[in-house]
């Protein structure tokens, strides 16, 4: 069949009563035979293997799951396998029950296109009741109020003073130890600042005294070649005024920066830094409910 240039051009239909030559034949993907345009479908040429790859799914009335029927297997056997292995009746309510708007009297089914979550009560509603007054929104939930820090501290002290009672809880012990540590740090910082400020005032007074002595003895000493030495770094200067300027520019500025420099306490839960220990205690009490567990 065909022409000398195209010897394989065209094929006959495989149906016995047809045998029509078709230059654009169709090959069945089940029986792999060639058919014409009229007999290309499974029904027209009565394909014996048409149902080999068909997918038939039956919905189980007990669990609402799909059960695929195997072509070469009895449907009853497939059904028995499903009932004995993966059938779960509790899944039926989850699948069939549709989520509805919680407003009394509203039967609107909530889908992906008509569902709105309230920002205050965090509950899904339909479009009709999306605003707070429409669904009687109670407002945002108030966070659990943390226990009073000082009250807990006094309670823990009372419990420690009474040996007959049970020991204090771990949270109260931690609160007491944390407050004591914060008080100690603050006291040490204040003491160091006071000591440093007194040293600065003494050095400054000594430098001023040196200036006054230099002014009083300038007429008598003249340029005697006396060398003034810095009490902080040991630098030597020929004039007292130069020494005073050196102390003011270098050491007084450094001492002021040291006074302003304070230790930073870090929250054990969120790693947030605080300069004042009392502010750290208030932060733990307000934001973490008085607990240091990370």
6-32 per-position pLDDT tens digit: 777 788 999 999 999 888 899 998 888
Structure tokens at 145: 């109020």
pLDDT (average), residues 27-54:
86
Sorted by sequence, the CB contacts under 8 Å of residue 188 that are 6+ apart come out as none
Distance of CA 81 to the CA centre of its chain: 45
Residue 159: its pLDDT value, please?
A: 57
| 8 A C-beta contact, residue 273 and residue 282 | no
248, two tokens: 């003011």
Answer positive or negative: Cα dihedral of 11, 12, 14, 20: positive
pLDDT (0 to 100) of residue 33: 92
Please state the separation of Cα 106 from the chain's center in Å.
36
Q: Bigger pLDDT: 204 or 12?
A: 12
Who's near 11: CB < 8 A, 6+ residues apart? Answer: 1, 21, 22, 25, 34
What Rg value do the Cα atoms of the chain yield, rounded?
46
The 8-class DSSP code of residue 167 comes to: P
Is residue 155 pLDDT above 70, yes or no?
no
pTM for this model (two decimals): 0.27
Q: What confidence score (pLDDT) does residue 190 get?
A: 79
Average pLDDT, the chain: 76
Examine the pLDDT at 161 and tell me if it is beyond 80.
no
Query: How do residues 94-126 score in pLDDT, each as one tens digit?
Result: 777 788 899 998 888 888 888 999 988 889 999
pLDDT of res. 290: 66
Contact in structure between 121 and 139 (CB atoms under 8 Å): yes
């Amino acid at each position: 069949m065909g022409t000398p240039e195209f010897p394989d051009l065209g094929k006959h239909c495989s149906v016995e009563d047809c045998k029509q030559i078709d230059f654009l034949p169709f090959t069945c993907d089940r029986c792999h035979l060639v058919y014409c345009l009229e007999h290309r479908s499974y029904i027209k040429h009565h394909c014996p293997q048409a149902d080999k790859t068909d997918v038939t799914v039956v919905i189980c009335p007990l669990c609402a799951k799909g059960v695929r029927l195997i072509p070469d297997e009895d449907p009853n056997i497939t059904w028995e396998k499903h009932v004995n292995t993966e059938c779960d009746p509790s899944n039926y309510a989850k699948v069939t029950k549709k989520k509805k708007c919680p407003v009394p009297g509203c039967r609107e089914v909530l889908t992906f296109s008509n569902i709105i979550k309230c920002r205050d009560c965090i509950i899904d509603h339909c479009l009709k009741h999306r605003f707070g007054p429409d669904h009687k929104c109670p407002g945002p939930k108030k966070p659990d109020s943390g226990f009073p820090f000082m009250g807990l501290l006094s309670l823990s002290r009372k419990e420690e003073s009474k040996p007959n009672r049970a020991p204090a809880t771990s949270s109260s012990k931690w609160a007491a130890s944390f407050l004591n540590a914060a008080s100690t740090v603050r006291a040490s910082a204040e003491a160091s600042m006071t000591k440093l400020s007194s040293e600065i005032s003494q050095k400054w007074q000594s430098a001023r005294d040196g200036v006054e002595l230099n002014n009083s003895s300038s007429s008598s000493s003249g340029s005697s070649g006396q060398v003034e030495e810095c009490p902080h770094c040991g630098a030597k200067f020929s004039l007292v005024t130069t020494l005073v300027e050196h102390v003011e520019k270098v050491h007084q500025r450094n001492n002021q920066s040291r006074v302003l420099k304070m230790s930073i306490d870090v929250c054990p839960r969120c790693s947030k830094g605080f300069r004042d220990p009392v502010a750290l205690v208030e932060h733990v009490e307000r934001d973490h409910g008085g607990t240091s567990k990370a």
